[in-house]
Amino acid sequence: MNTADIFNTAGLGLATGLALIVAIGAQNAFVLRQGIRGEHIGPIVAVCALSDAVLIAAGVLGIGALIAAAPAAVVILRFVGAAFLVTYGAMAARRALRPQALLAGDGSSYPGKRGLAAAVTTMLALTWLNPHVYLDIALLGSIASAQGTQLQWWFGIGAMVGSVLWFSALGFGARFLRGFFAKPLAWRFLDGGIAVTMTALGIGLALGVA
């Protein structure tokens, strides 16, 4: 094992991790909304990054094989996750019908400010109740194992770094959109899009097609 092998393997892990998380989905939509509102961004980004680190480590350790051996558990999780996503989608639709603008440039006085515990709990649910994340574990694990025992953890580290970079950019970078979201109509479009995304993902999960 040399430096080039480590660099290439970590780079593959970084690219693979980003490919799996850089997509429109429940987790990213929530992080974006929190970032625009300026609410608990640090803890939310930390929860996402730490959760991904645990999941990626599990994949490298071969937990994906155990998940594949327990399909009933994945089915149960699928319906629980679907119910949660549809409920969250309904809440977003309700907000879209009654949009409010940011009252200050930093988002600190946005009406209906969400508490830290509620924000973290929602983020944990959106992350861990998504059955697709466990399919990602199996995929990452299989690619990591293909790198060999000496390099598989470098692959995992690369994927973890990708997660940190993405969620940090999404959460902290969202503040540049606050000027646009000073208008209620902008929030109507955002929450309407979140409602459609969450509901579609929930229905897709329930039907087994998402």
**Percentage of residues in the chain with pLDDT exceeding 70?**
84
In this structure, what token pair is assigned to residue 114? 């969400």
Confidence (pLDDT) at 25: 75
- pLDDT at res. 97: 82
**pLDDT, average across residues 42-47:** 96
Q: How far apart are CA 51 and CA 55, in angstroms?
A: 6
**Distance of CA 25 to CAs 5, 99, 133, 142, 152, Å?**
33, 21, 11, 23, 27
Q: pLDDT-based confidence at 163, cuts 50/70/90?
A: very high
- Model pLDDT, residue 129: 84
Per-residue pLDDT at 155: 92
Looking at residue 53, its pLDDT comes to 94
Q: Give the Cα separation of 136 and 141 in Å (integer).
A: 8
- Map tokens 């999780």 to a residue: 77
Distances, alpha carbon 117 to alpha carbons 24, 39, 123, in Å: 24, 12, 10
What's the rounded Cα separation, in Å, for the pair 170 and 34?
10
Provide the pLDDT for residue 69. Answer: 65
Contact (Cβ atoms closer than 8 angstroms) between residue 74 and residue 208: no
Give the three-state DSSP class for 101.
Answer: coil
Residues sharing a CB contact under 8 Å with residue 64, sequence separation 6 or more, in sequence order: 58, 134, 137, 138, 139, 140, 141, 142
Give me the residue spans of the domains in the chain.
3-207
Q: pLDDT digit string (tens) for 46-92?
A: 999 999 999 999 888 877 666 666 667 667 767 877 887 788 788 87
Q: Which residues contact 81 (CB under 8 A, 6 or more apart)?
A: 129, 130, 131, 202, 205
- Residue 162 contacts residue 19 (beta carbons within 8 Å): no
Residue 66: predicted pLDDT: 64
Round to whole Å and give the CA distance between 37 and 162.
Answer: 24
Q: What percent of the chain has pLDDT over 90?
A: 25
164-54-91 Cα angle (round to 5): 70
In tens, the pLDDT along 102-156 reads: 443 444 444 456 689 999 999 999 888 887 787 778 778 878 877 888 888 999 9
Q: What is the mean pLDDT of the segment spanning 192-198?
A: 83
pLDDT higher than 90, residue 41: yes
**Helix ranges (DSSP H) in the chain:** 3-21, 26-37, 41-60, 63-68, 71-97, 116-128, 131-145, 152-173, 184-207
